[in-house]
Structure 1
């Protein structure tokens, strides 16, 4: 009888220690505050010249002007939905993560990769470190750079992660 009671107590205590609840989180529904900007002054001058020529062409009633398809936004391999899936898989939040919003600004550079990550808002330092570590993964760094008039430019966007 005592042996059965001891085994029962051991099973219950082992079950209590292995069922620790992980932090639950979800991502914002989309990318926010998206912007394109030239990486240097010479590219900015070239883009302005293309834009000026396109405006002149349209004013003269030209049939073919460079005004069409002037901007191509950065694209993740297999689309932005796949980026969100990969990000969700790679974020490993600590078990004691505090509730709230964590906001990240991502800058995609001109060389088809993430150039910079800025954690704008975070609930605690461990969560911030987990987010930064997730963005270091190779799976999240398969981008095609944005272009304006075929000139590679930087693109920034923000995404939020909410901890329940």
Structure 2
């Protein structure tokens, strides 16, 4: 194994999971480990735009949208004050941990689209299993260019709030 995208994606090819439509290629930090570091989501988007000049970037902070929706829900739901305050604290804590969350779409030739996200603890792509190896290499190269760890491939991603 030379660390190429072909090697990285080979693992899921071997598993042969025909029901799976997408794979997740990402760098993800574990909030609970001893590593101190995080992504700056807006900077990641700037670098992404330089790397993939045709990228479509959604500048909505989806983590904030979720926070505001949750706070509104808690304020309108009948419950004891202590419980409401606890739920609001949890919502704020989730926002502070994950920070801003932005979405984007990478456009490849032949109309191929790959969605992705950038947040404090993860940057990743939702990759169709039939995406050509050349495009997978480009995604892998971008993640490696961030110099924040080795990308991993899995069948479950740490996607942003409100993702389909």
Settle same-fold status: TM greater than 0.5.
no
Structure number with greater Rg is: 1
Q: TM-score, normalized by length of structure 2?
A: 0.31
Higher normalized strand content (fraction of residues): 1
